[in-house]
A = this chain, B = another copy of it.
């Protein structure tokens, strides 16, 4: 089992690679601007003046790296997040979670953040200001190169360029040596600098009484998904693959925030963890994206100095440039997401990580980079991280976060099937026939055997488990209900399954959350399962032209044409009409008020 990770984040270490850009900003209609800085300044001015965003706590002088979104910025953010939910979560039936930002130390110790989520700092003099070691070295090299210092030989220039290229890969020792070699000092005080030392980028806090339970503000949202793996796997019926998603705040205590909204101290992350069988990373929906063509920049081209190139995604996977179909599928979906949001195709490139950029456990990693006035900036990271995180939390917590292998061969299992004889139940229970049948169908094997024994020995049976968890129904109004409807074929049959799938497709397009179940479980059992989630409508496919929609509380059904199902559920969910309106429209008797 492994995971593929999709992240949209403000990257601490993006690289500047202006030489690699397929076009540049001034050639593209922005002819009023002679350079990127002027263009950026004009955009930033407008954005701040119209309150898209402003520096936070401005009346107190502001805090570097913290920004407020004003009304238009807030609306843009809400639109993008809503579309992200529609495009990823709803379209792929992902399991969304929402975990706290406050995180106990042990979780981030296991994930490696406590020990490794650091920047290297240097201090100017014993009590002096602190700086990021790589920033000082970078500024020094750029300064020398840009000033075209006449004292610099061609060899020296080549060396400085090399330092800039490998900057992100330097160890503390290497950085310290270069700073000594170039005699770099503190910018203001001109004091000599200390050796580089690690500074953790997480905001530290304390949970409960001081000193008892150290904690951090999460630096990413993914760990909340990993620690819930067991529950989510169970929620998914103990089956792989499945994906979990989370949208939420992340916090990074950057020492020198820069580049406007690109490197900030608090931001909203939208992350997906897709859990897949490590021995089968094929993806059933890959054909839907395999014909897409866009700029890709594989490792080999980067190393050999070739440019990025328009590539067909299907070919990139079949040639092994992209490691597997699942990774490829998400690259394609991210491409569609970004271009639908309005990102210029010519300024969007998928760049593969070089071997030294990837963690040792990762199988492959691609970044969606967008060219903006700061150069090419990573906006989405898509990585196959294997099961690294799950293993780390398994080791630390002692709770095995594993998925079980399926049987290679089908096995025979003897199973008690409860089949109410509807006619006899009808004679005995009259109008309650349906409810009694449903109650019988939802019984567990054990309960049924106990009932049988009671009936045989005592001639009667009564459930002592009133208030039983199986009988709970959440009566969410349709607006609030987490899942708006279920789609079940009445019997297992390919024609009905096709109809169910086409209805599911129409529901997705209409933005309606649903649960489809083609397992052939009894209808009664399925109702009981979904009543517990408060699902207000159940669509049962019992023909290829029309289907029934049953309302949860009244249990009344209407018959609706297949093409009208999605719009009918949408209308009654969003409040354009009530269930009674639907009854009138579809000629069923309205439900009395007191039901």
Residues of chain A touching chain B, judged by Cβ–Cβ distance below 8 Å, are 32-33, 38, 42-43, 45-46, 49-52, 54, 56-60, 63-64, 66-80, 83, 85, 95-104, 106-107, 130, 199, 203-209, 213, 215, 217, 224, 227-228, 230-232, 235, 249, 251, 253, 255, 265-266, 340-342, 393, 396-397, 399, 401, 466-467, 469, 471-472, 474-477, 479-483, 513, 532-534
Contact = CB atoms under 8 A, between A and B. Distances in A.
B341 A479 contact: yes
Give the interface centre of A97, A255, A341 by most chain B CB atoms within 10 Å: A97
Given A51-B235, A76-B482, A98 B68 contact: yes
A102 B266 contact: yes
A471 B43 CA distance: 11
A447 to B, nearest CB: 17
B467 A33 contact: yes
A98 B73 contact: yes
Nearest to A105: B60
Nearest to A202: B205
A248 to B, nearest CB: 8
B469 A63 contact: no
B95 A469 contact: no
Contacts of A60: 104, 106-107, 227, 396-397
A40 to B, nearest CB: 12
8 contacts: A32-B471, A46-B532, A59-B397, A63-B207, A68-B98, A68-B224, A70-B228, A204-B205
A66 B227 CA distance: 14
A99 B56 contact: yes
A102 B476 CA distance: 35
Contacts of A401: 59
B340 A479 contact: yes
Contact of A100 (B70, B98, B266): B266
A477 B342 contact: yes
Nearest to A251: B102
Contact of A227 (B58, B67, B83, B99): B58
Nearest to A533: B72
Contacts of A227: 57-60
- 4 shortest interchain CB distances as A-B pairs: A75-B482, A72-B482, A69-B98, A32-B467
Q: Within the oligomer, what is the number of copies of this chain?
A: 2
Nearest to A573: B79
B49 A77 contact: no
A393 B199 CA distance: 34
Nearest to A71: B95
Contacts of A266: 100-102
Contacts of A83: 479-480
A466 B130 CA distance: 42
B482 A38 contact: no
Contact of A63 (B68, B85, B213, B474): B213
A207 B103 CA distance: 17
A43 B79 CA distance: 34
Q: Which of A208, A224, A471, A477 has the most CB of B within 10 A?
A: A208
B102 A230 contact: no
A207 B33 contact: no
Contacts of A483: 72, 75
A231 B68 CA distance: 11
Given A71-B97, A206-B253, 9 more contacts: A38-B467, A63-B102, A66-B102, A69-B97, A73-B98, A73-B482, A101-B217, A102-B217, A199-B209
A265 B102 contact: yes
A43 B476 CA distance: 13
A472 B46 contact: yes
A476 B513 CA distance: 27
A26 to B, nearest CB: 12
A50 to B, nearest CB: 6
Contacts of A79: 479-482
A77 B104 contact: no
A49 B231 CA distance: 9
Contacts of A342: 475-477, 480
B101 A249 contact: yes
A435 to B, nearest CB: 16
B54 A231 contact: yes
B51 A70 contact: no
A60 B397 CA distance: 6
B59 A230 contact: yes
A559 B20 CA distance: 47
B207 A253 contact: yes
A76 B393 contact: no
A70 B104 contact: no
A217 B205 contact: yes
A57 B480 CA distance: 27
Contacts of A54: 228, 231
A38 B467 CA distance: 9
Contact of A59 (B80, B393, B532): B393
A203 B206 contact: yes
Nearest to A223: B57
A49 B85 CA distance: 24
A104 B64 CA distance: 11
Given A480-B79, A481-B79, A231 B107 contact: no
Contact of A107 (B32, B57, B130, B213): B57
